[in-house]
Amino acid sequence: MTDTALREQICLLAKSLFDRGLTHGSTGNISARTGDGGLLVSPTGTSFGRLDPGRLSLFDATGRHVAGDKPTKEMPLHSAFYDTRSTAGAVVHLHSCHAVALSMMPDADPDDFLPPLTPYGLIKLGRVKLLPFFLPGDPAMGDAVRGLAGKRSAVMLANHGPVVAGADVEAACNAIEELEDTARLAMMTRGMGARALTEAQVQAVITKFDVEWDV
């Protein structure tokens, strides 16, 4: 994909997420690998609904900011995924409401944040790690992701929002949407005795779809 096409795709998908209420105001950030090993990143303080392809922050393959506006303050999060997951071609971070709400629940499982309600969350995300609360922009968030040694493609920042790495921008956006939808199902059915997938069904999905499943 050309640099121009990648810039346009980032902005198109970010606007789609914004238009459907998956992040709001100037929240959220997105990045993607360029063909030469650099990064295109959404600038700090910008809205997903109004990203300008020509003003995206550009980093070269050495990690040096070479063009565009000042990048998001959450760069340590993005860098941690790229540095620990060789398959990461894009990273998306949202402030989606249902995922944040689920992260506040006292029984949220730190090692397996999303309940297995449908096969699709398993397929697209594997096991999601719930990380503790950090101040926005705290480099310790990146340290926490590095501490997972590349074993998770998605994390949930408590009281903050999800972060997902994917093979490309479209894959990362699809996966983070699945995370929010699963969290929404969990909140909608909370306390109603919803039947989740059984352990045998979970294992069947993992096996059939070759899911990356860190235990």
pLDDT digits (tens, 9 = 90+) for 13-60: 999 999 999 999 999 999 999 999 999 999 999 999 999 999 999 999
Query: Looking at the annotation, which residues are catalytic?
Result: 120
Given a cut of 70, the residues of the chain with pLDDT beneath it are 215
- H or E stretch at 163: strand 161-166
- Cα angle at 203 between 130 and 145, to 5 degrees? 25
Calculate the alpha carbon distances from 37 to 33, 34, 90, 133, 160 in Å.
Answer: 6, 5, 12, 31, 29
pLDDT at 214: 79
Strand partners, 88: none
pTM beyond 0.85: the answer is yes
Give dist(CA 45, CA 40) in Å, integer. Answer: 16
pLDDT at 183: 98
Give dist(CA 120, CA 181) in Å, integer. Answer: 10
Q: Which domains does the chain have, with CATH numbers?
A: 3-208 (3.40.225.10)
